[in-house]
Structure 1
Amino acid sequence: MERDLTVGKPITAILKYTLPLFGSIIFQQLYNIADSLVAGRYIGTDALAAVGNGYEITLLFIAVAFGCNIGTSVITAKYFGKKDIRGVKTTVSTALIVSTVIAVILTALGLGLTKPLLHLIKTDPVIFTDSYEYLMIYLGGYIFLLSYNIATGIFSALGDSLTPFLFLAVSSVANVIVDIVFVKTLHMGVKGVAWATFLCQGVSAILALAFMFVRLKKLPHEGDEKIKKVDFKILKEISVVAIPSILQQAFISVGNIIIQGFINAFGAWATGGYAAAIKLNNMAVTSVVALGNGMSNFSAQNMGAGKPERIKKGIFGAIGMGAVISLIFTAIFLGLSEPCIKIFITDGNADAIGTGVNFLKIVTPFYVIIAVKIIADGTLRGTNRMLSFTIATFVDLLLRVMFSAILKKPMGITGIWWSWPIGWLIATPISFGLYLFAAKKNFGLKKENTPAETEEKAEEKAEEIVSENAAESIAPEDNNLTE
């Protein structure tokens, strides 16, 4: 069902909206973890390393899917907040057609560049073939991943976070089952892990798109004029949000690939230990990302409705929830770090286990810090402050890569782990400071609408803000960053 995030208490609206998102995150991580878990437990540490090594490269392509999800979701939410159903449907049509073209191009590029990328990150010869086969199969199903992300972004924009959760829950459980059947029963090795993901993503994408079209048909729009297949004005609006999000995630992925290369140089044991630890780390961090995404859509709907004060109230409630989630994961990973790593590594590889435990003990105490950044970034994204949000992300990334390169020499692999908290400690104050600056200016809106202000004026002002930000995004002085 659709949820209007422009009414009611902000903290209550965010909580009700994000609860299914938390469930979705859990199952999304189960989906991602399943490949590594099955590879590590039923094949061995080398297979775990191969899947983990390949996964870092898939994140480059996932970055595009994530950016398209965010761009489509934020613009759809803006039109939905304005009660402009024609705008909602035009946004959906535009996003689906353009993303299909993008998927075809990126699939071709990915299949052609897989081997060079694996060589670039110094993949250990022991795991090279498995990493290559995993990536080739995974990238063959990229169109399913991108389509699914577009569909779930649209559900989220309409205030419906339950439907994506249900799809993801069923798909994740199915992926685990198919993984085990292909690997343990059919002895397909790492290729079995990849084929399981391919099949389950395909089914999820088809079902999500079908349900999305049914949902949209139930939303009446004014006038008899047909919905445009591709609206270039709306495509520009989506791009203003999506491109910085893609760049953000892509640069993060590039940074992670560089760091993966540093780790690979220590050997397959280091790659395997890191693969286990980063999956656990991602579970914690992406749980807070649910709040960040919730704040994006909450902010976008309230921008469309001309209600900046609700955004200011909502962010602090979201930060409080993020702190609680972060502390729970910190307690679990600090107290049970070795048992958690051993869930993935069962062949007694002490070096790999020790590597994973060391990562968790260094990084997890700083989860509260990164939670603040993620939520502030989500708010900046939802209010179309894309340049601000991009700057903070680049600072985090550059510091992490720089300190990994510097500290790995005197401290070994432990120095690489310290690059995470150092980057977070510097980037988080920047993110929150940029949010405060935007909030001080009411995100470009004059003031909170009073009962005397008409809905038409609020809508016109919201359109003006989007137009101004789009113009800023192509201004020469902004170089190649977008706001």
Structure 2
Amino acid sequence: MQLDMTKGRPLPVILKFTIPLIIGNVFQQLYNMVDTIIVGRYVGADALAAVGSTGTIMFLLTGFSQGITAGFSILISQRYGAKDENGVKRAVANGIFLSIFFTLLLTFSCLFLMKLLLTVMNTPENIFDDAYSYIMIITAGIVANIFYNLLSAYLRAVGNSKVPLFFLVFSACLNVILDLFFIIRLHMGVSGAAWATNLAQAISALLCAIYIWCKIPDLKPQRNQWKLSRIDTKNQLAAGIPMALQFAITSSGTMIMQSAINLFGSTAVAAFTATGKLQSLLMQGMIAMGQTMATYSGQNFGYGDIKRIKAGVKTALWIALIYAVAVAALMCSLLKPSLHLFFSGDVDMATMLPWAQTYAYMCSMFFIPLSTIFIFRNTMQGCGYGFLPMMGGVAELFARLVVSVAAMKILNFRLACFGDPAAWIAAAVFTGVSYLFVMRNIERKRNGNIAAS
């Protein structure tokens, strides 16, 4: 089930790899959404707002995990494209050791800083305790999050996007069952939703580990390869840290934006949360295309075919354009019926809908620049360029910061909602220009090497 992305026409190769990723990403969002729906309907609107108020912190934790582990897998995809089997196995072992270190670092940092972070984010007093309880339990499950993302990234690095999907679908279904059991039967409230998420993710990680150990010899290090390598550590950190920081920088911007949203009260936060869940679900095709381009560019960079990378990017951009227009239409048409999923009948939907529509309609107009960010960013990262994609995150942060601070100054909800589109426009321009620079730089180096030889 491994896929060599250095051969074949780019369109079918990209689609073959992307479609399972989209399905998997959608299922991941669905079981996150189930938490929100069950909490909103069976615990209450304030509980939903509490979970929603931690959404940007969740994005920080999961984004850091995805970034650092995806960075560790880039070396694997490059060596796999270069047919370096021993190098692949050494990088697998090295990435596991590094992941253990970052798991401990992230867990203890969150334990000490979480209450302060919620306070700084203007979390409303009536939902503060539930928000703190939920996010602290999620923090306890960071180890499952990191290792699921690491092992899934390893499988994708060798062209296998289907097996992580199978395990994710299974754990998504399990998460629904655990949500219902913990929240409805055991009356655990928001804590039950957090424990259900942690257990589901832990099972996904375990299944990925078992599959790799039994079925993928290319990713199974030998006994003498279970050691830290200075060269591999340097290469993996050079790719992983910028990718993790890029997520951290982006999520810092979303936390600032959340701080602005929180000023408008728990009703606005609940509506914003429900709308954000729908938007996250619809964005998964864009994210999957980015994940595909990281593996596609990594393998072809290792193989030395830069022309093929550029052809793949053009194909991906056309797919992204069509997808962005389609999901913008879906966002507007599905908003009102989807809101009813999140709240019980005693919630006044007339008070929720205006807040939700403001955010949804504004964001849907800017899905095209959003879709390009993932393609340009992940292509550069797959080629081993981490700094410029990270600076794209800085462009996002700056745009959100300016807009959110202005919104807090004048207490304007529409301006607060524009924080996301402003960030997308800034990052799309920056990463697009950076991609052109990176491609010229790679070609110049390749031509210089050929001339020297």
AA at the equivalent of 2:73: S
Q: Deviations over 1:349-402 (max 9, x none)?
A: 533332122100111121011111221111111112222212222112211221
Q: Is there any run of 5+ residues in structure 2 with no aligned partner, and where?
A: none
Q: Deviations over 1:41-70 (max 9, x none)?
A: 221111111111123222222232112221
Output the CA distance in 1 between the equivalents of 2:220 and 2:146.
Answer: 27
1:329 aligns with 2:327: yes
Partner of residue 260, structure 2: 262
Runs of 4+, deviation exceeding 3 Å: 218-221, 407-411, 441-445
AA at the equivalent of 1:97: F
Output the CA distance in 2 between the equivalents of 1:165 and 1:391.
Answer: 31
Output the CA distance in 2 between the equivalents of 1:111 and 1:75.
Answer: 31
AA at the equivalent of 1:432: G
Output the CA distance in 2 between the equivalents of 1:166 and 1:443.
Answer: 39
CA shift for structure 1 position 225: 8.8
Partner of residue 239, structure 2: 241
Partner of residue 467, structure 1: none
AA at the equivalent of 2:262: N
Secondary structure of the residue aligned to 2:171 is helix
- C-alpha contact 1:134 1:194 (8 A) present in aligned 2: yes
Partner of residue 90, structure 1: 90
AA at the equivalent of 2:285: S
- C-alpha contact 2:278 2:335 (8 A) present in aligned 1: no
CA shift for structure 1 position 226: 2.5
1:220–1:210 CA distance, 2 compared to 1 (3 A): closer
| 1:37-436 matches, cutoff 5 A | 37-217=37-217, 226-346=224-344, 347-410=347-410, 412-436=412-436
Output the CA distance in 1 between the equivalents of 2:123 and 2:319.
Answer: 39
Q: Deviations over 1:228-287 (max 9, x none)?
A: 421121111111111111111001111111111111111111111111111112222232
Output the CA distance in 1 between the equivalents of 2:201 and 2:427.
Answer: 34
- C-alpha contact 1:46 1:268 (8 A) present in aligned 2: yes
1:410–1:124 CA distance, 2 compared to 1 (3 A): closer
- C-alpha contact 2:89 2:220 (8 A) present in aligned 1: no
Report how many aligned residue pairs link the two structures: 451
Output the CA distance in 1 between the equivalents of 2:418 and 2:378.
Answer: 25
1:291–1:443 CA distance, 2 compared to 1 (3 A): farther
Task: Say which is worse superposed, 100-109 or 81-90, in terms of deviation.
Answer: 100-109
CA shift for structure 1 position 14: 1.1
Output the CA distance in 2 between the equivalents of 1:39 and 1:237.
Answer: 43
CA shift for structure 1 position 182: 1.5
- C-alpha contact 1:333 1:340 (8 A) present in aligned 2: no
Q: Deviations over 1:127-176 (max 9, x none)?
A: 11111111121111111111111100000001000011111111111111
1:212–1:444 CA distance, 2 compared to 1 (3 A): farther
Output the CA distance in 2 between the equivalents of 1:225 and 1:100.
Answer: 18
Secondary structure of the residue aligned to 1:207 is helix
State the TM-score, normalizing by the size of structure 2: 0.94
CA shift for structure 1 position 340: 2.1
CA shift for structure 1 position 410: 4.3
State the TM-score, normalizing by the size of structure 1: 0.88
Partner of residue 11, structure 1: 11
Partner of residue 470, structure 1: none
- C-alpha contact 1:71 1:242 (8 A) present in aligned 2: yes
1:113–1:306 CA distance, 2 compared to 1 (3 A): same
Output the CA distance in 2 between the equivalents of 1:422 and 1:119.
Answer: 26
- C-alpha contact 2:82 2:302 (8 A) present in aligned 1: yes
Output the CA distance in 2 between the equivalents of 1:448 and 1:177.
Answer: 58
Q: Deviations over 1:416-441 (max 9, x none)?
A: 11222223223312211211222234
Secondary structure of the residue aligned to 2:7 is coil
- C-alpha contact 2:324 2:368 (8 A) present in aligned 1: yes
AA at the equivalent of 2:430: I
1:443–1:165 CA distance, 2 compared to 1 (3 A): farther
Output the CA distance in 2 between the equivalents of 1:16 and 1:67.
Answer: 23
Q: Deviations over 1:23-82 (max 9, x none)?
A: 111111112212111111221111111111123222222232112221122111011011
Partner of residue 480, structure 1: none
Output the CA distance in 1 between the equivalents of 2:412 and 2:443.
Answer: 45
CA shift for structure 1 position 4: 0.4
Output the CA distance in 2 between the equivalents of 1:178 and 1:31.
Answer: 11
Output the CA distance in 1 between the equivalents of 2:119 and 2:218.
Answer: 50
Output the CA distance in 2 between the equivalents of 1:175 and 1:252.
Answer: 28
Output the CA distance in 1 between the equivalents of 2:411 and 2:112.
Answer: 37
1:408–1:116 CA distance, 2 compared to 1 (3 A): closer
Q: Is there any run of 5+ residues in structure 1 with no aligned partner, and where?
A: 462-483
Secondary structure of the residue aligned to 1:329 is helix
Output the CA distance in 1 between the equivalents of 2:265 and 2:434.
Answer: 41
Q: Deviations over 1:312-350 (max 9, x none)?
A: 000011111112221221111112322222222332253
AA at the equivalent of 2:336: E
- C-alpha contact 2:89 2:218 (8 A) present in aligned 1: no
AA at the equivalent of 1:167: F
AA at the equivalent of 2:83: K
Output the CA distance in 2 between the equivalents of 1:425 and 1:219.
Answer: 39
AA at the equivalent of 1:384: G
AA at the equivalent of 1:38: I
Secondary structure of the residue aligned to 1:226 is helix
C-alpha RMSD over aligned residues = 2.3
- Sequence identity, in percent? 31
Output the CA distance in 2 between the equivalents of 1:77 and 1:444.
Answer: 23
Secondary structure of the residue aligned to 1:343 is helix
- C-alpha contact 1:408 1:414 (8 A) present in aligned 2: no
AA at the equivalent of 2:109: L
Output the CA distance in 1 between the equivalents of 2:420 and 2:136.
Answer: 30
AA at the equivalent of 1:385: Y
